[in-house]
Chains A and B, each alone.
Chain A
Amino acid sequence: MSEITLLLVDDEERILRSLAPLFRNQYRVLATTEPEEALTILRRETVDVIISDQRMPAMLGAELLYKTRRISPPTMRILLTGYSDLGAAIAAVNEGEIFRYVSKPWNAQELRDTVAEAAAIAQQGFSGPACLPTETERDRVKVLVIEDDTKTMDTIREITRDGCDDECELYCVDNLEEATELLRCEEIGLIVTELRVDEEDTISTIKALKRYQPNVVTVVVTSYRDNMALIGLINEGQIYRFLPKPVSRTLLARSLQSALHHHRLLRIAPTIRDRYTVLPSLEERQDMLPARLRGLITRMRRCSST
């Protein structure tokens, strides 16, 4: 096993000096205050894990991680930030496709664990599918839409009818109860969901789903703007896209297309699937899940073990 390389980027060098001793014993640690230099390093050598600050004078962290994804897809991306603006977190999801969002000040042991997890995943290698999905694998993906706003629902219906009717089969519900029922019976591949429907929160369900059915891809379309919730959805739900309402039709269409593609990829390439491992959610760890969801989880567990 080759040595694991960790790249740290932060415009405050004291952060770099402080982080280095934390990791030096296990990894080869590279560090820079310049995002541009980080990109040069990424082009030049293999980096397994990158940890980047968000607010830097030269470039935002989300942008750096987006570029990282382009230059070096296998590199696991972690955002370490003291700012909690929603815009940054949204960009980190949609463009950076980050593995974890870590807030400053961080807990040393937790950060070590996060990096260790990312490093282990990176070490498995990044092998995309040897070939594109075959005809049989291109069966129609079951898409569950959880949305109580009819306008958004209609737009999604139109998009799927116009664009990818042969690719997906739509299940539309406007409440969590029916959604749970469908998730029990059908093998859903993609969910497009609001965060609150019919006075109920879908967040725990989204998180549990990704944890127990890692092939499921989630696109959140919401008018709910809460940075803390989004951070939770990143770390514990690995949502694929976060689209604040009002969302343009083209953006929604593009997101659904790439989410479908992403789902197919996950199905055939397990090593890629691991890259989207989630942290168990706080609600689950504290055993505070609603009964309905607990039932679903039990079922999902049973299915995945067979």
Chain B
Amino acid sequence: MTQKIDSLILSVPAVSPNISIEEVGEYFLKDEFKALLSIPVVEAGKPVGVVSRYQMMNIFIKLYGRELHGRKPVSRIMNVHPVTVSSDQSMEEASRYITRNIGFPITEDFIIVDDGGAYTGVGVVLDLLKAMEHQLVKHGKELSVAYNELKSSQAQLIQSEKMASLGQMVAGVAHEINTPLGYVRNNVELFRENQRQLSGLLGAHGLLLDALHAEDPDDELIMERLAQIKKWHRLDGQETETLFDDTFFGIDQIAELVASLKNFSRVDQAMADNISINECLDTTLKIAHNTLKQKVTVVRDYGSLPAIRCMPSKLNQVFLNLVTNSAQAIDENGKLLIKTFTKDSFLFVVVEDDGRGIPEDVLPQIFDPFYTTKPVGQGTGLGLAISHQIVEEHGGAIRVSSRVGVGTRFVIRLPLDGAPAQHTLVAGG
């Protein structure tokens, strides 16, 4: 809500142009004019000028000033171009006009008229300044609220971009789990059948033993029970062993997939020490496996990296964005190289694909928010913008080089001594 200038109106009586300068001098001594620098001069309801304390002083100070000029009408000395604003103007508008037109040093107040131009009162510049300052403070507050909102909505944007890509990935991983789950469940079913066989066999053996141990062994009964034992299938010990191995393998794999999801989705955005970037990359690749396996061969070329201080869940998001982009740039039989190494006091992560590549005129725009070449619904165009931001928050940099038809290489550089403290994060809200 903008404030109007009329809140500053002081409805002081005006003087007529015919009134003598001497009389005006008396007016200035009256209580109602004490706070004013000037007195408005009005004729037929309309302001025609303004006379200031300063002018009066100039006259009275002079030798015989009062005697020489005191009787003259005020119209002889008044400023006939008083600064006048209309009461329905906003504070900003009025103050802009007033500051532009009022003389310095300030010796007059300004006049406020209604929309018909009739005199309604005066305003004091000092009041105006105070009001403006008040507004500025208020605006400042609004601004900082807006800024905070913006910051948190950006954080939300990051979060929702993450949730969206994560959602896809989770679906992928959930399905990935179904394969080990499938054979593990089936194997357990087989073990149960085997187990039934075994107990049947054991029972038959028991009966045979009973027959053998009898006081007076009955050959016929023994033969019969032997025959029964033979009827049970032979279990293939080797195969059972393999199926057990597979089962444990499958269970481990399920556990790993679940762990990778947990690592990846770490809700805490916090800085953590001792993070292995190579492990982060492995987690990401595991999560993206489902997107990749159809058409991409992944080559990992990890250097030995010291653990660093960073926000792993955010960096995972960056890696996932890069890997997903690469996968989407590859039509079939592609190669994705993930390479890490250190140099000087930096750590580098290279994500390089032999996909479509990025045309030269597109390249400068790819980090822009919402820039995407993908069909509606497929890409938000936020992936790289957010990745860029996250890497910067880590005090690092991200660079790209690409050639159409050859491939694309992204290089991320992170400081080995961890993210600088002043880059504290836009945490979620």
Residue B181 lies at the interface, judged by CB distance under 8 Å to chain A: yes
Q: How far is the CA of A176 from the CA of B401 in the complex (A)?
A: 59
Residue A306 lies at the interface, judged by CB distance under 8 Å to chain B: no
A84:B175 contact, CB within 8 angstroms:
yes
Q: How far is the CA of A80 from the CA of B182 in the complex (A)?
A: 10
Given the known inter-chain contacts A17-B246, A55-B293, A84-B175, please indicate yes or no for A22 contacting B190, CB distance below 8 A.
Answer: yes
Pairs A–B under 8 Å by Cβ, sample size 6: A15-B183, A19-B183, A19-B186, A21-B239, A82-B175, A106-B182
Chain A residues with CB below 8 A from B290, complex form: 55
Nearest first, the 9 closest Cβ-Cβ pairs linking A and B are A82-B178, A104-B182, A18-B183, A108-B189, A104-B178, A105-B182, A105-B181, A83-B175, A14-B246
Chain A residues with CB below 8 A from B176, complex form: 82
A18:B179 contact, CB within 8 angstroms:
no
Chain A residues with CB below 8 A from B179, complex form: 12, 15, 82, 104
Residue in chain B with minimal CB distance to A102: B182
Chain A residues with CB below 8 A from B249, complex form: 14
B186:A108 contact, CB within 8 angstroms:
yes
Interface centre among B177, B179, B293 (most CB of A within 10 A): B179
Q: B residues engaging A (CB < 8 A)?
A: 175-187, 189-190, 239, 242-243, 246, 249-250, 290, 293-294
A105:B190 contact, CB within 8 angstroms:
no
Q: How far is the CA of A14 from the CA of B183 in the complex (A)?
A: 7
Given the known inter-chain contacts A12-B179, A18-B246, A103-B178, please indicate yes or no for A57 contacting B294, CB distance below 8 A.
Answer: yes
B242:A17 contact, CB within 8 angstroms:
yes
Report A8-44 residues with CB < 8 Å from chain B CB.
12, 14-15, 17-19, 21-22
Chain B residues with CB below 8 A from A106, complex form: 182, 185-186
The count of chain A contact residues (Cβ–Cβ below 8 Å) is 19
A105:B178 contact, CB within 8 angstroms:
yes
Chain B residues with CB below 8 A from A14, complex form: 180, 183, 246, 249-250
Closest chain-A Cβ to B427's Cβ sits at a distance in Å of 35
Closest chain-A Cβ to B207's Cβ sits at a distance in Å of 25
Given the known inter-chain contacts A17-B242, A104-B179, A105-B181, please indicate yes or no for A22 contacting B186, CB distance below 8 A.
Answer: yes
B243:A18 contact, CB within 8 angstroms:
yes
Closest chain-B Cβ to A66's Cβ sits at a distance in Å of 17
Q: How far is the CA of A80 from the CA of B175 in the complex (A)?
A: 12
Q: How far is the CA of A93 from the CA of B133 in the complex (A)?
A: 72
Q: How far is the CA of A57 from the CA of B246 in the complex (A)?
A: 21
Residue in chain A with minimal CB distance to B242: A17
Interface centre among A14, A22, A80 (most CB of B within 10 A): A14
Given the known inter-chain contacts A18-B243, A18-B246, A22-B190, please indicate yes or no for A57 contacting B293, CB distance below 8 A.
Answer: yes
Residue in chain A with minimal CB distance to B177: A82
Closest chain-B Cβ to A53's Cβ sits at a distance in Å of 8
